Amino acid sequence: MRFCGRSVKPMRYLLLLFLVSISYQARSQMRAVTFYDSAWALTSKERHVYYRVGIVDTLRYQYYGEVSEFYKNGKRLMQGNFKANVKQDTFYFYYPSGQLRTRGIYQNNLRKGIWTNYYESGKIKERLEFDNILVTIRDYYDENGAPKVIDGNGKWKTVYDVDPKKALAIEGVLVEGRRNGAWTYQLIDKNNGDTTLYCTETFKNGKFTSGKMYAEDKRGQRMNGPQMLIYPELTRMKNWGTWDVTPYATLKEYPKLPFLAKNVDEVPASFKGGFQAMGLFIGRSLRYPSDARSIGKEGDVFVSFIINSDGTVEKDSVTVVKSVYPSLDAEAVRVVKSFPPWMPGVQSGKPVRSRFMLPVKFRLGTR
């Protein structure tokens, strides 16, 4: 996630004002149309691949009520309801053709109950049951409608999007809804269809016995525990409420978003590799404090920090703006301080300091 903001003279900061008084909420809500590139970063209308329509609180930058997303051709991509960015009730996802792709219910930001995926032909592909972070594959059918998994028993094979350029193919055997035997995970290049082995895992009656990760080592690195989720949430849905922006999203086009640059000559600071790379870094670095885990503490710690003109994090600037629990706060600060150098923000051709606000998410079930 990249946050950026307007210059504040004479400090030349790019400042994001994120948390404000709730008393102004009613008059700050407005219908907004926002445009996104292929990586779901905010961009200009002329460069967009997707667009979103919904009610936004322009003080807290949160969505309320029904929100719809569309492909560039005007076909609906997603429809769902939010309350202060919290996903609620039934959500629908669509293919570019307009055919229903997925239908399921969110309850307080978590997928709940039966979710159904469809082939573009309209035939049912699979039904999955969610219970908090747990997921069980109930039924799976091939493209001809032949059953392959019934009541959690059979061989399951599915493909889901990782990002706009890659997909992940999963294949393995289920016994009473639990993984059994060898499971393979292969990355698919969506441009040319090439596949690369990403990970293998072996299970016995649902319990992990061995595995190798091939992402960074073609020989495979041994794993001490399972690394792959059966059916992870779409990245943009999981991180809903963050604002990843491109240099082409400016105040001229979005006057109610004061953290944007005034014009395209201003370039916001950014984590090298973008939002997804930062998410991976946080995921690898974050350690859930045992005291917080033991009493069920979770939530989002909001951390403020400054990126210097050389791209480094100014460690003395890292502070907690919204606290959850002392050990969670401390861990969020530690992770932010450990960030590698960013690409610094640029104004008038010169690198500048930038201030950011980042929610570090703690959810039970993470490390």
Find how far residue 160's CA is from the centre of its chain. Answer: 14
Dihedral, CA of residue 341, residue 347, residue 352 and residue 355, to nearest 10: -80
| Token code pair at residue 106 | 């969110």
pLDDT at 367 (0 to 100): 40
pLDDT at 14 (0 to 100): 37
CA dist., res. 176 & res. 38, Å (int): 38
Each residue's pLDDT tens digit, 27-50: 578 899 999 998 888 999 999 999
Count the Cβ atoms, other than its own, within 10 Å of residue 48.
18
> 316: alpha, beta or left, given left = phi > 0 and alpha = psi -120 to 50?
alpha
pLDDT at 142 (0 to 100): 93
pLDDT at 223 (0 to 100): 84
- CATH class, domain 1-17+259-367, is alpha beta
Start-to-end CA span in the chain (Å): 21
What's the pTM? Answer: 0.66
Burial bucket for residue 230 (CB in 10 Å: 0-12, 13-18, 19+): middle
Each residue's pLDDT tens digit, 180-221: 999 999 999 888 889 999 899 999 988 999 999 887 667 888
pLDDT at 365 (0 to 100): 54
Q: What is the DSSP string of 99-142?
A: -EEEEEEEETTEEEEEEEEE-TTS-EEEEEEEETTEEEEEEEE-
Query: Could you tell me the residue ranges of all domains in the chain?
Result: 1-17+259-367, 154-232
The amino acid at residue 301 is V
pLDDT at 41 (0 to 100): 87
pLDDT at 7 (0 to 100): 37
Count the Cβ atoms, other than its own, within 10 Å of residue 220.
14
Round the CA-based radius of gyration of the chain to a whole number and report it. Answer: 22
Mean pLDDT in each 10-residue stretch from start to end of the chain (367 residues)?
37 35 53 92 92 90 94 96 95 96 95 96 95 85 94 90 81 91 92 89 92 80 79 83 82 85 74 81 90 89 91 94 92 96 82 85 68
